[in-house]
């Protein structure tokens, strides 16, 4: 059974005659009749009663009518669904939950000024969640950690993914500007003992940070465990605690300083599937690389 035969059948049933159906379909009547005859032969039944002024459906034709309508509806639905793959201008971007929302929103806003037809979906998560989302195809590109340098150096650039570096960030001690440490050029690890601490539990340095504090027998007083960077920054600005976190420029009310015995750094970049060929991803990556991080 061919789709054109189903269309012929439905048009005849709607118009009531072969001649009107042929006109609507821009066919000769013999071609239309041949198509219906092939359909009846394949189905093994007569679909129309012929001979009167108006073509009437047989009982078998009435039964087939419902199925033919479903076939056409499903076909049209499939065409509409697949057409979206050509017309789709949505870019799904995975972002670290330990990146600043204000910077991401500015990046997206500026990108859409250059590409107003593109819609951006942001999906936040930790390093593992972003890597898995990229592998599953849930996101098209991820702003994520490419490597960490601390107690050991870790590289997170999978063989199945391509990547591009954006910027590097040292992890420093962030304190409110009202804190006594704010007047210092650095602090020692032992001085963190008993200090009110904000833990960034989604930070990929968090396990190493805990290991270093335990080894030095330093016990800060944890006042909050935060999932997102904006919570950490707000708590710092309110003077409620201190935090080991990436350096972000131009944060009012927050002072960064190094911890003498500790050296952390992370490399932030973009990752996408290696065999993915998307002009939209290329445009976004090119724009992100030129952004003033």
Report pLDDT for 268: 95
- Backbone phi, then psi, for 74, in 5-degree steps? -65, -35
User: What pLDDT sits at residue 77?
Assistant: 81
Can you count the helices (H) and strands (E) in the chain? 9, 12
- Indicate whether 82 and 226 sit together in one domain: no
Shared domain check, 141 and 286: yes
- Examine the domain organization and report whether 131 and 221 are in the same domain: yes
- The model's pLDDT over 215-238, given as tens digits with 9 standing for 90+, comes to 899 999 999 998 888 999 999 999
Torsion of CA 135, 136, 140, 144, to 10 degrees: -50
pLDDT tens digits, 137-155:
899 999 999 998 876 677 8
CATH code of the domain containing 38: 1.10.10.10
Q: Which domain holds residue 59?
A: 3-86
Examine the fold and report which residue of 86, 114, 138 is the final residue of a domain before the chain moves on. Answer: 86
| pLDDT, average across residues 15-23 | 89
* φ, ψ of residue 205 in degrees (nearest 5): -90, -5
CB 254 within 8 A of CB 178: no
Domains in the chain: how many in total? Answer: 2
Q: Could you tell me the CATH number of the domain that includes residue 129?
A: 3.40.190.290
Residue 22 has pLDDT above 80, yes or no: yes
* 66: Cβ contacts below 8 Å, ≥ 6 apart: none
Which of 86, 109, 133 delimits the end of a domain?
Answer: 86
Q: What is the mean pLDDT of residues 44-56?
A: 84
> Does residue 244 share a domain with residue 187?
yes
Asked if residue 82 and residue 96 are part of one domain, the reply reads: no
């Amino acid at each position: 059974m061919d789709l054109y035969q189903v269309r012929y059948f439905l048009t005849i049933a709607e118009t009531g005659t072969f001649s009107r159906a042929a006109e609507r379909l821009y066919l000769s009547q013999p071609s239309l009749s041949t198509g219906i005859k092939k359909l009846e032969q394949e189905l093994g039944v007569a679909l129309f009663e012929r001979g009167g002024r108006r073509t009437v459906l047989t009982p078998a034709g009435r039964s087939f009518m419902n199925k033919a309508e479903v076939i056409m509806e499903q076909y049209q639905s499939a065409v509409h669904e697949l057409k979206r793959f050509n017309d789709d201008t949505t870019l799904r971007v995975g972002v670290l939950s330990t990146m600043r929302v204000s910077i991401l929103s500015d990046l997206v806003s500026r990108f859409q000024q250059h590409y107003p037809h593109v819609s951006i979906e942001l999906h936040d998560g930790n390093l593992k969640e972003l890597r898995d989302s990229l592998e599953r195809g849930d996101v098209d590109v991820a702003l994520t950690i490419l490597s960490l340098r601390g107690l050991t150096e870790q590289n997170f650039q999978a063989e199945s993914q391509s990547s591009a570096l954006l910027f590097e960030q040292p992890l420093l001690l962030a304190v409110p500007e009202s804190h006594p440490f704010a007047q210092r050029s650095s602090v020692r690890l032992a001085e963190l003992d008993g200090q009110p601490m904000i833990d960034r539990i989604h930070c990929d340095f968090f396990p190493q940070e805990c290991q270093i504090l335990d080894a030095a027998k330093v016990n800060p007083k944890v006042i909050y465990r935060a999932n997102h960077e904006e919570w950490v920054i707000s708590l710092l600005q309110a003077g409620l605690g201190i935090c080991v976190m990436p350096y972000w420029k131009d944060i009012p009310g927050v002072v960064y300083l190094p911890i003498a015995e500790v050296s952390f750094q992370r490399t932030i970049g973009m990752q996408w599937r290696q065999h993915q060929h998307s002009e939209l991803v290329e445009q976004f990556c090119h724009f992100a690389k030129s952004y003033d991080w």
